[in-house]
Amino acid sequence: MISKQALFQRLEQLFPSMVQVRRHLHQYPEVSFQEFKTAQTIAKFYEKLNIPTRKNVGGNGLVATIQGGKPGKTIALRADFDALPIQDLKECDYRSKVPGVMHACGHDGHTSTLLHLARAFSECQSELPGTFVFIHQHAEEMNPGGAKAMIEAGCLEGVDAIFGTHLWSLSPLGEIGYRSGAIMACADRFEIEIFGQGGHGAAPHEAKDAIVIGAQVINAFQTIVSRNINPIESAVLSVGSLEAKNAFNVIADHITMSGTARSFSHEVREKIEQDMDLVLKGLTTAFGAQYDYEFIKGYPPVMNDQKMTDLLKESCQDVPNIRATRIEPKMIGEDFAYYLQEVPGSFFFTGAKPNGISYPHHHPRFDFDERAMLYASQTLCSVALDAAEKI
């Protein structure tokens, strides 16, 4: 049976290719549900290695499978490959060549990482324990996401455990951030319209000012988390957009607002949704106005399995140049949550902070230290092999 150290060394040898593939993907990004050429690039990579691959899984998704020559469990590893509708403002030779679209979240790195781990595994297939399923998922960035459709199309059939990682530009290079239980939040959004009665700016008493009503609503929303949610719980309620376009001397008869709510439990999520409606109903009634309200539920919280997370932490001890660190939950969302509702697993963050200025994810100058791809591939390698033999 091949040793982890031999695979780690092989992944080091493949690192230049990881960088090359990542930079190619970075130059030709595609947004969620439109990743046709990206999917073709992934498929061609596996075709050259003669690795059996299912295409068009739940949409643009792909699933490659490597059957080891030794007995063991079936372990899935997942990477996403969609980009964002953001103009790339970086100054580098691999910046996006597609106007208004860029990989601003590291999905190009996730894809290259998984492709090269599959390549390393394929070269020693007869010596591997168990079976390894490489899930390349489309449309992580846009609700309803690609995970649910891929699961419905059978990507988890026969899978005993699943692992995934996110390259994280704000965490130090070499840090593997793990946590059991909730590690990422529900990612919900809301759309609100408030209907008042317009009028002349000089005669507000003859109108029902939708802007003033909206301001009262926004202020009241801030008390939902601070006064209605148990302080032991965590939640966020943010209004991100408010529109009321009128002339300077006109009382607005109509406004729209939208925003996001984040939490780590279904109970808190339901409480926020209900309390927002109560605030809207009470204030619009008091002002003699009306409202429309839609609460759009996004991805559920990402809940890591305790046993699989403990295994991940243990597996990290074998990987050179990394340190496993228990991290606090993040308020971002991820549709990896759907996989964890079906099979046990763990999702972790791989530190990828670049030298110099580190821009956050979804920023037009986002980038990461590409050495993080090597650390991610070695960590996934280690935990996948351990899971195949030990669970």
The answer to whether 140 is a known catalytic residue is yes
Among residues 80, 82, 318, 334, the one annotated as catalytic is: 82
Between CA 360 and CA 258 the distance in angstroms is: 23
Under a CB-based contact definition with an 8 Å cutoff, are residues 114 and 77 in contact?
yes
CB count within 10 Å of CB 298 equals 20
Which whole-number Å values give the CA distances from 250 to 12, 164, 288, 291, in the listed order?
65, 53, 19, 20
Between CA 376 and CA 322 the distance in angstroms is: 10
Residue 77's DSSP bridge partners are 134, 163
Between CA 166 and CA 177 the distance in angstroms is: 10
Residue 145 backbone zone (phi > 0: left; psi -120 to 50: alpha; other: beta): left
Under a CB-based contact definition with an 8 Å cutoff, are residues 225 and 214 in contact?
no
Which of these, 129, 180, 137, lies nearest to 156 by C-alpha position?
137
Among residues 80, 140, 209, 318, the one annotated as catalytic is: 140
CA atoms within 13 A on the CB side of 100: 2
Query: 333 Cβ partners below 8 Å, 6+ apart?
Result: 184, 185, 186, 187, 262, 298, 299, 302
Residue 202 backbone zone (phi > 0: left; psi -120 to 50: alpha; other: beta): alpha
Q: Which residues are catalytic?
A: 82, 140
